[in-house]
Structure 1
Amino acid sequence: MMQRVRCLMVFSLSATINLSATQVLVAQEISKGAQFSTKSTSNQTTQETAQTSESSLNPDPNPLQLPTKPDEIRLQATQAITLQEAIALAERNNRDLQVAALTLKRSQAALRQSQASLYPTLAGDTELGYERNSRDRLDDLKYLAEDASPTGTLSGRVEISYDLFTFGRRPARIQAAQAQVRLDQFEVDRVQRQIRQDVTNVYYDLQQADEQARIAQSSVTNIQRILSDAQALEQGGLGTKLDISRAQVQLGNAEQELIEAQTQQEVTRRQLVQLLSLSETADVSAADPVQVAGDWALSLEESIVLAYRNRVELQQQLAQRTIAQQNRRAALADRLPEISLFGNYQFLNEFNEPFGTLGGYATGARLRWNFFDGGAARAAADQQSANQAIAETRFAQTRNQVRFQVEQGFKSLRANARSIQTATAALTQARESLDTVRFQFQQGVGTQLDVITAQSDLVRAEVNRLRAILNYNRALASLQRAVSNSPANPISQPSYP
């Protein structure tokens, strides 16, 4: 009987082991299949999520849409976006950029209009009418003793004409229109680069507001710990009510600073939404951590030369100069003759006559010469000469501004780089000092005033390092803008961890 029980136990144990092993193998196969399925659908899920997120941020396609119900402007859940996503949204939705693009389309249409003068024009007109004036009726009654019926006529003309010689007026207007197109293209580029810098600066402002809110919250938490320690020491006979009162005052001040920091955080979020021209219900936050954005590998002189070569503001002044030159050329051409060729065909049919439809034609050349215009052409040319001088003066002014912007950004970048190192060392020392005085206070050796002072020093050190990093990033974005380099594509890779 005992041997039978032992055999049953051994058999049961072996069956359990085999079953467990089988379950493990099946579980491994299921896990492998799930992993494969997850890998195959992860990219699709990520793309769908990104598309859904972007669709909820995009504004209404109707620019004249005006919400009338509170539900239409109630904010949805806050979405965290990166700096690159913010720049992409601004380039797609920003109203100023859209206006610049529409202005470019308008100038392109104007260019096509001016280029149409290179081709001949074909026009025609037709007239159908009935005429019976009083003189004809009187003659009929006087000489024919009868009142004839009205005369019906059908007439028309088709004419082709071409301006053969305009003495520079036509090419000047075409070249002025081409320069205007270039000018508006430069304006689109300028607005796009400026929007990138504006979005970058506001994004850094939001990062600073987020971090200041975090620092304020951390300060409240630390002072609450100081208050708890003071209360515990007072209960143990090692502290005083003055320590508790001082900690309560510090806690109230810290909570007030937290409220102000959170309010600034909310305002900066709305400022970013407005700059990105997002949906009425969109609310965003910064997803990127605060860190050094990169380094600048060029010298000051190389940066200035690069800015002179890339800045579209300088090219815009040259385009303005070209427009003035061509407009002056066209104005002076108004005093010169204009020769055109023409050819037409006419037909006439009087319904009361038996001759039917009669046709005729005419060809020839026309000469048009405005001998005297009271000095209008010369005055128009003088205006364009002044516009040319203005463009040249503004070119020199813009060149000086570009150099100053590069120098300002370069020096600010170097100064903030040194500030980061100093602030980082000060922050490390402030943390160590706070830990030391807090331990001494808990042991009854130090004073509460030492702890509060160390806590204030820590908050100041954190804020200083935060400002140093973000000011460095702002200076880098400003320098990149000064040389017309996109903030989304820095010249050099970050050299900081």
Structure 2
Amino acid sequence: MRNFRYIFGVSVSAALALSSNNTDSAALNSLKTETLQPTPAIAQSQIPEASEIANPAPLLLAQATSPETSGGALQPRLAVSEPEQIQTPVLAAASPVAPVVSVQPQTAVSPPLQAARVTQSPAVQPQAQAEVTPVQLQAQAEVTPVQPQAQAEVTPVQPQAQAEVTPVQPQNPASIASGTSPAQVPGIAPFAPERPSVAQSPDSLYLDPDANPLLFPTRPEEVRLEGTQPLTLEQALELARRNNQELQVARLEYERARAVVRQALAAEYPTLTLQGDASRQQSPGGQIAASGSPPGGPNPDAPTNTLSGTLQLSYDLYTGGLRSANIRAAERQQRVTELEVERLGEQLRLDVTEDYYNLQEALEQIRIRQQSVNNALRSLQDAQALEQAGVGTRFAVLQAQVQFANEQQRLTEAIAQLRTARRQLARRLSIPQFVDLTAADPVQIAGRWELPLEDSIVLAFQNRAELEQQLVQRELNEAQRRAALSARNPRVSLFANYNVLRTSSDDALATTGTGDGYTLGARVNWNLFDGGEARARARQEEADIAIAETNFANNRNLVRLQVEQSYFELVSTFENIQTASIALEQAREALRLARLRFQAGVGTQTEVIDAETELTLAEFNRIQAVLGYNRSLARLQRAISNFPSLATAATP
């Protein structure tokens, strides 16, 4: 009888173990058949504003010490201070589940997991020596203690068509396709501005700085940001060309150089001067002579009135080469300043474009960080629900809480970076102190470069203002050298004078009248010895000529390097876009499986946290790949300069 009892006990245990294994197998099979559903993206309107993060306080999580039961359904006590800062609602485990209402995304960017509808399971009726069956998998990651007599009814998730991701194909660098649409690169789609426009058009006068450049704010309300103006990239470039102070200074220097040219050209014309004198004179000698003169004779002491005028015409017939050298130097200096305006305009275009892309990246970082906060919150809910169900550990809850706090901290840092990026673009555009900016363009591929590398290098040599600047600077130094040597040559000038004189006196017997005359002549001036000054100045200019030639060779090599570096980055970042898109889909699937494994009891919270981290990294990699491609394209256009439309095609 004892043996029979032993055999019977072994059989019952084996049957129970087999039942448990079958249940685990069914759970794993359901895990494999789950389909990847897109998760709604975080709307731009959910990004915290600058006023909301003046004193950012982290969200506080109340530790769940003991579970509460309501009709057999476990209610975790998860208290979140300021829950409006978290964009997803806090869902209680095993609560009556309705379809999850997500915030409608304003940007079609990264689709994470979508929750399925789960029906409420009946309350658990405790029974003596009842063996607990494994927890059933549910798509919303909500754990419900299952009664052996009544299983939880799960509404299956309708599978949705996934975006087909094509593998990376070798690309011809000469024909990099920029026409990748949002369907080809998932998630790269327009996003709405996070605030309404404060003006009908960015071209309105309120975006222009004050006409007085010496004005600065003196009251806090004058620098307080009152609105956010969405701008496209083209609008930002137009504002920069109109308002940027560095470009305005370059234009003023060009106007000054034009005046210097007009000054030098004046030496080609003769000079005409007019001089007039009027005087009344009574000399002491006349008074002495009058004391001894006979009565009735001339009065030497009578005052004399004199009126004279001189008209002089002069012309430098020969200057030894000084005049032509000065004119040439002024013209070359004007050309240097003109090329400097062109160079600053091209550099300003690149700087504004990069600032705009940095602003787009900051906005995307907030979106991704907000999504990471939501994922961390969901994992925390799962961990607490499992702990309250008796199948989880306190360690997993602590891990989830730490991950949630870390993601909140990263979100706060991303908001600070966004504010900095906004003010950097505002400074570049020189807009008024009270206006804030945001990007209105979607994050998408900006265009494609159709020229091969060799043609791009040759085109850059032809177009870059920096190379022509050095050649013009060399010509300027050569003209200044000739001007210095002209001091050793003779100078010949012609002159003509016409004089008019009228005299009168109080003495009636004095001689008075009006007369005129003229003078014609030529003047020669030759500095025979100057101590070597002219030759020393000429040697200085010869050294400057050699410096300009060396700078030209250096800039030529630098231009080639800039073109090649930008071109290589353009090719690699374009391929990275497709690679990052594939990795993003894989990271989403890995996170889904990690959550299901954790809910089934066969995975750990560490796996979920690692999967969330990998998903965030994949999101960053894709955004950086797209924006990196756009930055490389902008740098390549800057390296070529002047004619981007010849080599760049718009994205279809």
TM norm structure 2:
0.65
The partner residue of 2:624 within 467, 489, 492 is 467
**Is 2:446 the counterpart of 1:293?**
yes
1:24-67 per-residue CA deviation (whole Å, 9 max, x = no partner) reads xxxxxxxxxxxxxxxxxxxxxx9x9216x632221101111121
Secondary structure class of the residue paired with 2:520: strand
1:375-400 per-residue CA deviation (whole Å, 9 max, x = no partner) reads 22222222221221111111111111
**2:554 is matched with which residue?**
397
Counterparts in 2 of 1:385 and 1:143: CA distance versus 1, 3 Å: farther
**Is 2:428 the counterpart of 1:251?**
no
1:96-144 per-residue CA deviation (whole Å, 9 max, x = no partner) reads 1000000000000110111111222111111222334545544544667
1:485 Cα deviation from its structure 2 partner: 4.3
Counterparts in 2 of 1:424 and 1:141: CA distance versus 1, 3 Å: farther
**Is 2:385 the counterpart of 1:210?**
no
Secondary structure class of the residue paired with 1:50: coil
**1:439 is matched with which residue?**
596
Counterparts in 2 of 1:112 and 1:99: CA distance versus 1, 3 Å: same
Counterparts in 2 of 1:376 and 1:150: CA distance versus 1, 3 Å: farther
**Is 2:475 the counterpart of 1:322?**
yes
The partner residue of 2:414 within 257, 261, 264 is 261
Secondary structure class of the residue paired with 2:313: strand
Counterparts in 2 of 1:391 and 1:300: CA distance versus 1, 3 Å: same
1:227-280 per-residue CA deviation (whole Å, 9 max, x = no partner) reads 122222233333233222211111100000000000011011111111111111
Indicate the RMSD between aligned Cα atoms, in angstroms.
2.2
1:291-310 per-residue CA deviation (whole Å, 9 max, x = no partner) reads 22222222222111111111
Larger Rg computed on CA atoms: 2
Aligned mates of 2:570, 2:559 — CA distance in 1? 16
Q: Is the 8 A contact 1:485 1:491 kept in 2?
A: no
**2:264 is matched with which residue?**
114
Q: Is the 8 A contact 2:286 2:300 kept in 1?
A: no
**Is 2:301 the counterpart of 1:148?**
yes
Residue pairs, 1:79-94, within 5 angstroms: 79-94=229-244
Aligned mates of 2:643, 2:285 — CA distance in 1? 81
Q: Is the 8 A contact 1:480 1:490 kept in 2?
A: no
**Is 2:634 the counterpart of 1:491?**
no
**Is 2:600 the counterpart of 1:452?**
no
The partner residue of 1:126 within 249, 255, 276 is 276
Aligned letter for 1:256?
Q
Aligned mates of 1:272, 1:302 — CA distance in 2? 33
Secondary structure class of the residue paired with 2:647: coil
**1:50 is matched with which residue?**
201
Aligned mates of 2:404, 2:395 — CA distance in 1? 14
Aligned mates of 2:405, 2:267 — CA distance in 1? 77
Aligned letter for 1:131?
Q
1:69 Cα deviation from its structure 2 partner: 1.6
**Is 2:502 the counterpart of 1:346?**
no
Counterparts in 2 of 1:141 and 1:327: CA distance versus 1, 3 Å: farther
Secondary structure class of the residue paired with 1:126: strand
Aligned mates of 2:285, 2:542 — CA distance in 1? 59
Aligned mates of 1:358, 1:367 — CA distance in 2? 30
Aligned mates of 2:631, 2:290 — CA distance in 1? 95
Aligned mates of 2:434, 2:264 — CA distance in 1? 45
Secondary structure class of the residue paired with 2:301: coil
Aligned letter for 2:647?
I
Aligned mates of 1:423, 1:135 — CA distance in 2? 108
Secondary structure class of the residue paired with 1:400: helix
Counterparts in 2 of 1:98 and 1:144: CA distance versus 1, 3 Å: farther
Aligned mates of 2:628, 2:284 — CA distance in 1? 91
TM norm structure 1:
0.85
Aligned mates of 1:133, 1:61 — CA distance in 2? 62
1:317-337 per-residue CA deviation (whole Å, 9 max, x = no partner) reads 111111111111222222222
Counterparts in 2 of 1:275 and 1:369: CA distance versus 1, 3 Å: same
Aligned mates of 2:292, 2:647 — CA distance in 1? 99
Q: Is the 8 A contact 2:289 2:300 kept in 1?
A: no
1:446 Cα deviation from its structure 2 partner: 3.5
Aligned mates of 2:630, 2:461 — CA distance in 1? 23
**2:212 is matched with which residue?**
62
Q: Which has the larger helix fraction?
A: 1
Secondary structure class of the residue paired with 2:648: coil
The partner residue of 1:163 within 306, 316, 327 is 316
Aligned mates of 1:369, 1:258 — CA distance in 2? 79
Aligned letter for 1:55?
L
Counterparts in 2 of 1:266 and 1:148: CA distance versus 1, 3 Å: same
Counterparts in 2 of 1:451 and 1:490: CA distance versus 1, 3 Å: farther
Aligned mates of 1:218, 1:474 — CA distance in 2? 25
Aligned mates of 1:143, 1:246 — CA distance in 2? 129
**1:418 is matched with which residue?**
575
Aligned mates of 1:239, 1:135 — CA distance in 2? 129
Aligned letter for 2:536?
A
Aligned letter for 2:404?
L
Secondary structure class of the residue paired with 1:334: helix
Aligned mates of 1:459, 1:485 — CA distance in 2? 39
Counterparts in 2 of 1:161 and 1:204: CA distance versus 1, 3 Å: same
**Is 2:423 the counterpart of 1:273?**
no
Residue pairs, 1:25-36, within 5 angstroms: none
Aligned letter for 1:308?
F
The runs of 5 or more residues in structure 1 that have no matched partner are: 1-45
Q: Which moved more, 1:315-324 or 1:400-409?
A: 400-409
1:94 Cα deviation from its structure 2 partner: 0.6
Aligned mates of 1:128, 1:387 — CA distance in 2? 53
**Is 2:519 the counterpart of 1:366?**
no
Aligned mates of 1:401, 1:132 — CA distance in 2? 79
The runs of 5 or more residues in structure 2 that have no matched partner are: 1-196
Aligned mates of 1:375, 1:332 — CA distance in 2? 10
Counterparts in 2 of 1:139 and 1:389: CA distance versus 1, 3 Å: farther
1:201 Cα deviation from its structure 2 partner: 1.2
Q: Is the 8 A contact 1:292 1:494 kept in 2?
A: no
Aligned length: 448
1:435 Cα deviation from its structure 2 partner: 2.0
Counterparts in 2 of 1:382 and 1:422: CA distance versus 1, 3 Å: same
Secondary structure class of the residue paired with 1:49: coil
Aligned mates of 1:154, 1:259 — CA distance in 2? 87
Q: Which moved more, 1:150-159 or 1:229-238?
A: 229-238
1:444 Cα deviation from its structure 2 partner: 4.5
